[in-house]
Structure 1
Amino acid sequence: MPLPTAVLWDLDGTMVDSEPYWVAAEHKLAQMYKVNWTVQDELSVVGAALTDTGAALKAKGIDLSVAEIVDFMVNSVVTDIGAEVPWQLGVLDLLAALKAVEVPCALVTMSYQVIADQIIAGTAPGTFQVVISGDNVTHGKPHPEPYLLAAERLGVDITRSVAIEDSFTGLASARSAGARVLAVQRKLQIPAAEALSRVGDLASLTVEDLSRIAAGHVIDRLTLQEE
């Protein structure tokens, strides 16, 4: 079976368990400005562009500009990741396997470049050929621009690529760009859907599995069904 033309990776939640870092930054701001930031508020911005998260926090009553809110959150997460990169199970092994068979990879994240650079520094040289970060696109997820731009810069057919995501926002972005999609169920409960592959983690996922997904098969290890 042909290999995927590329694998397009989301970062936060998918590759690294950094969502708690973002949530902590949100709550620091909420506490500083004495506003109520609920669990539902947290979930509503998972995978969103940082400017959208900043706007949501500002709407709650945080007396800063959106840019200032984003800067605060980015600096907070940079500090946390600098202390520890919380890799998700199976990610580094799968990246190494893809590199061994020369499947190109792109990092497609709404985190900013400074955070993407920290993560890439923890992978083998040449693991990622392209990085699309939230501060380098006009339209963030769920708009298709980030994934379309990644495929364009890789020079690949996006319809034969696989995007790995953990949020509804990211899945919508990848789907609308034309990529095959694999959902990793993390913080959000992602229901079964047509043409949606799902796993609980990446530990058991192989290059062959990704090739099958790229070819249009569905692998759903949350219900133990495969098509």
Structure 2
Amino acid sequence: MAAVLFDMDGTLIDSEQLWAISLQQLAGEYGGQLSEDARLRMVGTDMPTSMGIFHADLGQEHRDYAFSAERLVSLTGELFAQGLPWRPGALELLTEVRAAGVPAALVTSTERRLVKIALDTLGPFDVIVCGDEVGNSKPHPEPYLTAARLLGVPIERCVAIEDSSSGVRSAIAAGARVIGVPCEVALPGDLGAHLLPTLSGVDLAYLRGF
């Protein structure tokens, strides 16, 4: 195993509910209410896709998607700055990876400005690939291929850890071995990932042997 590639939202930190709060606040500002079905369909998607689902669910496709995205990021940033809860087992695994000197990348669909806030909780990574810094977001393989290239390691020797279908598809398409730990939405069993309920009890020996 040459490196570990971590997704962020829903994988390392339990931030999806914070996104839910800011989405509902934005919907309220627009005089509407976001359905739970639409919110769950937004999990793991890039911002343009999320804003398309958001506006369609509200019946307000006429709104400026870029303006809505800017407002959503601002609202979510305020919540991120108050502190981010870890997903079960994530801190322990990340701490062991760092202590062992294994290269680690953060590969997320979230924009860099929010990731900077999250890093106050997460700590440093050898490489960070953000959603607004690649030409193609998950489920395209580009984010994970970019991380492996920046680390200087073969993607086939990397283990990626993801919570969403789009993230798993991205890592699988790139050629990584993938552990899926669903958070908000169940992961289908036919994606090609090794599925676990959480990262509790997962250590380096497990990553090297699965």
Q: TM-score, normalised by structure 2?
A: 0.93
Secondary structure of the equivalent of 1:122?
helix
Q: Give me the CA root mean square deviation.
A: 1.6
Unaligned residue ranges in structure 2 (runs of 5+): none
% identical aligned pairs: 34
In structure 1, how many angstroms separate the alpha carbons of the residues matched to 2:138 and 2:118? 20
Amino acid at match of 2:84: V
1:28 alignment partner in structure 2: 25
Aligned 1:52-91 pairs, distance under 5 A: 52-59=49-56, 60-61=59-60, 63-91=62-90
In structure 2, how many angstroms separate the alpha carbons of the residues matched to 1:194 and 1:183? 9
Contact 1:58 1:65 in 2 (8 A): no
1:220 alignment partner in structure 2: none
**Number of equivalenced pairs:** 208
Q: CA deviation at 1:35?
A: 3.4
Q: CA deviation at 1:194?
A: 6.5
Match of 2:139 among 129, 142, 145: 142
Q: CA deviation at 1:27?
A: 1.5
Q: CA deviation at 1:55?
A: 2.0
2:173 alignment partner in structure 1: 176
Q: CA deviation at 1:119?
A: 2.1
Match of 1:18 among 15, 18, 28: 15
**Relative to structure 1, is the Cα distance of residues 44 and 102 closer, same or farther in structure 2, using a 3 angstrom cutoff?**
same
Contact 2:111 2:132 in 1 (8 A): yes
Amino acid at match of 1:212: G
Secondary structure of the equivalent of 2:121?
coil
More helix by share: 2
Aligned 1:1-227 pairs, distance under 5 A: 4-59=1-56, 60-61=59-60, 63-124=62-123, 127-193=124-190, 195-213=192-210
Amino acid at match of 1:207: L
Unaligned residue ranges in structure 1 (runs of 5+): 214-227
In structure 2, how many angstroms separate the alpha carbons of the residues matched to 1:41 and 1:163? 26
